[in-house]
Each structure stands twice: as C-alpha cells, then as structure tokens.
Structure 1
C-alpha cells in the first residue's frame, strides 16, 4: 500500500475516533471517510485496535520529532525548554484532534496503554534531559524528582492545550493569539523549573 493511502486512512481514522470515541468507531465509517474499501484497511491492520495503535504511534513519532528538533535547535537549556514548550503547544494546538485522542482514548486497552507509555516516556525523557542539562540541583540531585518534574511539565502543557482546544470549539478564537497566550502563561511555570 502506498504511504499516501496509509496517511489517508490515518486522517480518516483520527476524525472518526475523535467524533465517535474508540468503542463506537466503526471500520466501515473509517473506510468511507478515507474513500477506500474496508478490505484495504483490513489488509494492513488486523482490526480497529491495531489501526488505532498504528495511528497513534505514527502521530507520536511525528510529535516527538518536532519537539526534539525544536529542543536541539538551541544550546542553552532555558532556550531548549522554551523551544520545547513552543513546539509542543503549537503542534498539539494545530493537531487538535490528535491531541484529544492522545489525552482521552489512549488509556483504554492494556495494549494501548503499553504502546503509549513508551511514546510518552520518550517525551518525558526529552524534558528530563533538558532539566538535567540545566544543572539545577533541585532536580538533578534526585532521579525521582527529575522525572516527576518532567511529567508535571508534560502534563501542564498537554492539559492547557487541550482545554484551549475545547474552548476554541465553543467559540471562534484567533489561533495565533491563543497560542501566544498559552505560551505567555506556561513559560514562567515551565521555565521556572530551571531557576532557583
């Protein structure tokens, strides 16, 4: 199957899973939205669970790559954290349907939980690395504390963006302005992790 067809299936699946939730989503609806035969989907994915996991893994790989590149574009840990913050907020906001799925549907089955724990762990470790490079003894002296801080940063950004996505659905908001507002709100909280 051509990569374009897989991407077409993924785009349709994201929409259907977001609209219906994982349990109520039907492969027929995904096939119809993707404009492919249902057999085309089953040729590559054993079922809805496998399609969902592949879809989210693909999305998480893209997301992690964007965040990693934004972090690596800077030398200073504070700038790395700001780059990470901007990349994560912007990516999740521009991919709101993916963000909703990431934060709502991935905790369903045991298979999904295991797959996403590994992907989320990659992002948390990226944040931990920035904090470690920042050299703040509050966080680097204890591995547990460093990890908990990175998880808190990951969660704060994710939930803030998710709430903004829900607000934007309720009324028209200027996208660029909302991203800047979120960044202005989150930066002192997140980047404060590198200061005394």
Structure 2
C-alpha cells in the first residue's frame, strides 16, 4: 500500500471518527469514504483501534515536525516561542476535524493514552527547549519550564478548540488566516504579561 492510499484512509478515518465517534465508527464506512476495499485497510491495520492510534500518531508527528521547522527559521527565543505558538495554532486550525478528534477521543483506551502522552511529551519538550534558551539569553525570567510548557500547550489547544466550535456555530465569518494572528497575540499576551495589573501583583 502506497503512502497516497494510507493518506486516503487517514483522511476518511478522521471524518468518520469525528462524525460518528470512535465507538460507533465502522470500518466499512471508513473504507467507503476512502474509496478502498475494507480488506485494504485491514491489510495494514489489524483493528479499528490500531487504525485510530496510527492516525493520531501520524497527525502528532506532522504537528511536531511543523513546529520544529518553524522554530528553526527564527532567531532568538522570543521569536521561536512566537513561531511555535503560531505553528501549533495554524496546524490545528487548518485541520479542525483532526483537532477535535485529537482532543476528544484520545483519552479512551490505554493504548491511545500511551501514544498520545508520548507525542505530547515531544511537543512539550520543544517548548521547554525554547524556554530554556530564553532563560539563558536573559529574555525569559527563571521558571519551572516543564510546567510552563505544559500550560502553553494546554492553553493553545483549548483556545483553538473553542474557536473551531465557535466557527461551526456560525459565530465568525473571518477567514482562518485572518483569525490566527489575533489568537496567537492573545496567547502571547497571556504568557508574557498575565492578567493581573502590576500594581495589584504582590508576587
């Protein structure tokens, strides 16, 4: 089976899993959406669970590589962090169905959780590296880099998910590429400045 066929199966699986949920999704339906025989799917994926895990693994790998490429194009930790945020938001926004699936279905089986946690650790580690570099450059204050990286990942994930739901409900006609900068700016503002006025902050 070539990569093109696998991509067809993955694209169909994302739609079916997102529409029907993992539990109700049928391999026959996925095969129909993909335009392949069900046996073709089973040739490479022994079960629906294995297909789902492979799909999530592939998507997370793409996100990770996308972040790494964007960060590599920036100089200095502040710009790298901005690129990481923009890359993550952009990928999820442009792959909204995958984003919803990722954040709603991966908590099911132990196998799914294992794969998901491993991939999340990779993304968090990328952000940690940027935070560590910024600290060494003197542009970021000393912090618990692990916890901060996790918080950045979580905030960006939920922000995008809520925006996707909002758009699906007809709440925003703005083009995706026009909306991304404002979402990234909001995340940056929260990360860099917080929400408490400095005159009211005693920490």
Q: Same fold (TM over 0.5)?
A: yes
Task: Write out aligned runs for 1:1-196 (5 A).
Answer: 1-135=1-135, 136-139=140-143, 145-171=144-170, 172-174=172-174, 175-192=176-193
Alignment partners' CA distance in 2, 1:82 and 1:137: 16
Seen in structure 2, the aligned counterparts of structure 1 residues 67 and 192 have a Cα distance that, compared at 3 Å, is farther
What are the ranges of 5 or more consecutive residues in structure 1 without an aligned counterpart?
Answer: 140-144
Q: Alpha-carbon deviation of 1:101?
A: 1.1
Alignment partners' CA distance in 1, 2:110 and 2:193: 35
Computing the radius of gyration over CA atoms, which structure comes out larger, 1 or 2?
2
- Please report the TM-score for the alignment, with normalisation by the length of structure 2: 0.89
Calculate the aligned-residue CA RMSD, in Å: 1.3
Aligned length: 188
Deviations 1:159-187 (CA, angstroms, capped at 9, x unpaired) = 00000000010115222232122122112
Where 1:147 maps in the other structure, the secondary structure is helix
Q: Alpha-carbon deviation of 1:83?
A: 0.5
Deviations 1:64-115 (CA, angstroms, capped at 9, x unpaired) = 1001111111120000000001111111100001111111111100000001
Q: Alpha-carbon deviation of 1:25?
A: 0.7
Alignment partners' CA distance in 1, 2:186 and 2:40: 45
CA contact (8 A) 1:31 1:41 kept: yes
